[in-house]
Structure 1
Amino acid sequence: AGVTGLTTAICLLRDGYKNVTVLSKHVPGDISSEYASPWAGASILTVANHDDYRLQEMDGFAAKEFKRLADEEPEAHVQYCNGIQYSEQPGAPGEDVYWVRKIYSNVKEIPKDKLIPNVAYGYTFQSYTTNVPEYLKYLVRTLKKLGGHLQRQSFESIQEVIEQYTDVDTVINCTGLGSYYLKDVQDHTMYPVRGQTVTVRAPHIKTQHYIDGADRWTYIIPRGDGTVICGGTVDRVNRQTSPDDEITKSILERVYNLYPEITHGKGVDAFDIVAINVGFRPGRAGGIRLEKEIRRRSNGQKVTLCHNYGHSSHGFQSSWGASNKLVQLLNNERISKL
């Protein structure tokens, strides 16, 4: 039960759907590298390029919901957070400042003569961060408060679910990387993206920092509880589920070089490490899959199947927007894809 599945279920319940149950192999509180959501930062920072209007729309919708959560629901553990974004190459997300200004406040381009070395672009902004373990618990509470259910279960195909739950007329597939392995989905455009991060204790850090590179990201994301997520990696080749010491060293060195104040300028050895984390993001060629199709039970009954997966590294940022699109897709008989 990751951020996509839980958020989709909540959006369905808010739209008036009844008898909504989330089935999942993993639930919040589980520790597994294949369960991606708990390992996220998570910063609500768009990764949509200036010409990716589909993802821009989803991220814009999500930003409004995260603003509401920050303003009205402290139990969601979403907070406002100022940030600094740098890009090593031109044309990166956020370089179109007009687009970014539509969803974030206080967006200001950093003058070229004020940029740190070896970056092409930068801007400051205010968005949101969340304490991921607490936020996932909040989503579960909200699901149950609205009348939904969460049930631990694993299965090898969508058809298994359709045959087992004979009173169900709609199934939503939010299985992330699972869609590669489900026997009747086998979406081989899916690929795992290994992410390794380091959780450190640094309660004085109140600002998020990022450098987007061609093959790696460096970031500092405060979680609001005194801990900070330091990252990171974008690795499509490495399948190692345990932390790599050399990668940990590289992350801490890059983070320190980006913002030495994280250890009060005392060097890399002064980090107060809480945990080293490994998770696999659900990457997908072509981006998020939002599609609808008709499946049938063995007795011929029709069941509507919708897909909402392939969120890669932006599952939290796009969660509310993609889930809202899913509800639109389900409600409109004339469309099968968004």
Structure 2
Amino acid sequence: MTKKVLILGAGVSGLTSGICLLRNGFKDVIIAARHLPGDISSEYTSPWAGASIITAASPDDYRLHEIDLDSKKEFARICDNIPDAHVSRTDAVQYVRQPQATDEEVYWVKKIYDNVRLIPKQNLKPGMSHGYTFTSCVANVPKYLQWLLKTYRSLGGRIERRTFNSIQEAIEAYPDVDNVVNCTGYGSHDLKDVKDDALFTLRGQTVLVRAPHIKTQYYDDSTTCWTYIIPRGDGTVICGGTVDPDNKVTAPDEAITKDILKRVYEMCPDITHGKGPNAFDIVSYNVGFRPARRGGIRIEKEIKHRSNGQKVTVCHNYGHGSHGYQSSWGCSQRVVKLLKDERLSKL
């Protein structure tokens, strides 16, 4: 495989796509991006994630099921073999507010997670219809992104800090590139030759606290706001959160912070040793913007041409919303399939 690949974007999707391509016969891969791991910017989504490997797929979203199952396999391999990646297995508790557990939901939960148990009714929090305990993985985001970057470079991948206003501009700037992988996230809303109006942002506000005694993940899947507790494995815990479509405010909202800490404390009083929602040991307040997409993730191939007529294959991989990490390996594996198989146009 001698074809050269240009990847636009160095978030979790771009880096993971680069690794998968290099592992599967593509020898010449370069990433071009405005932001790189270590940068702090509200426009750079990946560093703000909780990165718990918890599926966002509904029980009947079979496409996302397959993507998440493929990702689960790779995260399990990483957990077992690569401590430097800073991905760890943790116990998890998920509370569900919808009226009852369907057979499809129970089947999917048992398929995607390990050690699944239904929470007895008497142990449910008020307002919950049912819930599960299970085992899943969590990535320590800053360290995991650095591991992805290190792995990508160790495989021979190159990276440049560059920005483009269109994919056409990028393929003209790299005249020897045969393939482009578009991992620009919400940037695909603004690229002049993509302008995907199905994209929208989901503002997420979180609080990073110090609570080394918390080893279990907790989730409340309310449709109006998400409440979650995600231990990072280094003594810090991500507390969230919010789901706020098309809100572009980058500064943390104090009222939202108080509400998050109140909800988190109600779900797990032990996080402050029962001392109340004002007793958190706060490390930082965070705001990020999830690049969501109506219609789901776009993993699709198209053909573009340079001004000299040369053909370039473009593969899109964006629109992951709140599940960029948990779908990252499955999506990237599908990018490889699309670029290797000329008969396929989308997955």
Counterpart residue number, 1:170: 179
**TM-score, normalized by length of structure 1?**
0.98
Counterpart residue number, 1:160: 169
Match for 2:72 among 50, 54, 63? Answer: 63
Counterpart residue number, 1:262: 271
- 1:325 and 2:334 are equivalent in the alignment: yes
- 1:41 and 2:41 are equivalent in the alignment: no
For residue 21 of structure 2, give the secondary structure of its aligned residue in structure 1: helix
Amino acid in the other structure paired with 1:293 = E
Write out the 4+ residue segments of structure 1 that deviate beyond 6 Å after TM superposition. Answer: 91-95
- How far did residue 109 of structure 1 move? 1.1
- How far did residue 71 of structure 1 move? 0.5
Change (3 A) 1:105 1:152: same
RMSD: 1.3
Match for 2:245 among 214, 236, 245? Answer: 236
- How far did residue 241 of structure 1 move? 0.4
Amino acid in the other structure paired with 1:236 = P
Which region of structure 1 is more displaced relative to structure 2, 109-118 or 231-240?
109-118
- How far did residue 237 of structure 1 move? 3.8
Match for 1:75 among 84, 89, 98? Answer: 84
- How far did residue 238 of structure 1 move? 2.1
- How far did residue 113 of structure 1 move? 3.1
- 1:311 and 2:320 are equivalent in the alignment: yes
Matches of 1:120 and 1:332, distance apart in 2: 45
Identity %: 63
Counterpart residue number, 2:3: none
Matches of 2:237 and 2:260, distance apart in 1: 13
- 1:187 and 2:196 are equivalent in the alignment: yes
- How far did residue 94 of structure 1 move? 10
Which region of structure 1 is more displaced relative to structure 2, 265-274 or 114-123?
114-123
- 1:5 and 2:4 are equivalent in the alignment: no
- How far did residue 91 of structure 1 move? 7.1
Q: Name the count of aligned residue pairs.
A: 338
CA contact (8 A) 2:165 2:192 kept: yes
Matches of 2:49 and 2:136, distance apart in 1: 16
Change (3 A) 1:207 1:93: farther
Counterpart residue number, 2:258: 249
For residue 322 of structure 2, give the secondary structure of its aligned residue in structure 1: coil
Unaligned runs of 5+ in 2: 1-9
- How far did residue 102 of structure 1 move? 2.0
For residue 250 of structure 2, give the secondary structure of its aligned residue in structure 1: coil
Change (3 A) 1:206 1:220: same
Matches of 1:99 and 1:69, distance apart in 2: 23
Match for 2:206 among 197, 203, 206? Answer: 197
**TM-score, normalized by length of structure 2?**
0.95
Matches of 1:63 and 1:254, distance apart in 2: 29
Change (3 A) 1:99 1:319: same
CA contact (8 A) 1:81 1:127 kept: yes
CA contact (8 A) 1:64 1:103 kept: no
- How far did residue 167 of structure 1 move? 0.5
- 1:89 and 2:111 are equivalent in the alignment: no
CA contact (8 A) 2:60 2:104 kept: no
Matches of 1:293 and 1:95, distance apart in 2: 35
CA contact (8 A) 2:90 2:216 kept: yes
Change (3 A) 1:88 1:95: farther
Match for 1:277 among 280, 286, 291? Answer: 286
Match for 2:151 among 115, 121, 142? Answer: 142
- How far did residue 214 of structure 1 move? 1.4
- 1:210 and 2:219 are equivalent in the alignment: yes
CA contact (8 A) 1:177 1:191 kept: yes
For residue 177 of structure 1, give the secondary structure of its aligned residue in structure 2: helix
Counterpart residue number, 2:7: none
Amino acid in the other structure paired with 1:211 = D
Matches of 2:293 and 2:312, distance apart in 1: 25
Counterpart residue number, 2:6: none
Matches of 1:303 and 1:239, distance apart in 2: 34
Unaligned runs of 5+ in 1: none
Counterpart residue number, 2:309: 300
Amino acid in the other structure paired with 1:195 = G
CA contact (8 A) 1:50 1:94 kept: no
- How far did residue 11 of structure 1 move? 0.4
- How far did residue 88 of structure 1 move? 1.5
Change (3 A) 1:278 1:94: farther
Counterpart residue number, 2:346: 337
- How far did residue 184 of structure 1 move? 0.4
Amino acid in the other structure paired with 1:180 = H
For residue 102 of structure 1, give the secondary structure of its aligned residue in structure 2: helix
